[in-house]
Amino acid sequence: MEKFETFSGIAAPMPLVNIDTDMIIPKVFLKSIARTGFGANLFDEMRFNRDGTEIPDFVLNKPQYRNAQILIAGDNFGCGSSREHAPWALDDFGIKVIVSTSFADIFFNNSFKNGMLPIVLPQEQVDVLMADAEKGENARMTVDLEAQEITTSDGEVIKFEVDAFKKHCLLNGLDDIGLTMEKEASIDAYEAKAAAERPWA
């Protein structure tokens, strides 16, 4: 998993509430356990007509938001089924940060495990970021995980909270496997000791 670094990105406004995982990646596309390739079908039923043509009014189809890395979303983002394909699709599209007033628990935790940062803020602060995002591609926000700050295009700084352990994992690019490998020396020492004590095993 890549380390999460401070970056400036385009923020797309998506004020819909209760965006569920089937809206994020419809079940018809859940045909692989690889983590790549799902970005093309992110929000498929909202992005495309049945004939495959784009729906121009959908925010991520608008020229100014095609390269968005941040989503400013409505309440209860990621509700519905627990499919991990939802964060895979967002990450594969290029989304690195999602801001909302609340997230479904499983989606929230899966996002961290896949290198994305979900940020929970009060409604009034989400409103500030939503208004800034609506300015288009010139409204680039900066997200600083180390300092736990979002800076708007106008220079307004909004602080956010994040669990210390999850922050450590993102900053160091550690998924579950990476966390295990941090203990590699201790694991090797245990296995060597166990082999010496039980050579028949």
154 band by pLDDT with thresholds 50, 70 and 90: very high
Could you list the beta-strand ranges (E) of the chain.
Answer: 7-14, 70-73, 97-100, 117-120, 140-144, 149-151, 157-159
**Residue range 163-197, pLDDT digits in tens:** 999 999 999 988 665 555 555 566 655 565 666 67
Nearest-angstrom CA–CA distance, 16 and 197? 60
pLDDT of residue 32: 76
Higher-pLDDT residue of 82 and 194 is: 82
Would you tell me the crossing angle of helices 85-93 and 105-113 to the nearest 10 degrees?
Answer: 50
* Cα-based angle 87, 107, 6 (whole degrees, multiple of 5): 60
7-173, what's its fold? Aconitase; domain 4 (3.20.19)
Confidence at residue 56, expressed as pLDDT on a 0 to 100 scale: 95
Q: What are the sequence ranges of the domains in the chain? A: 7-173
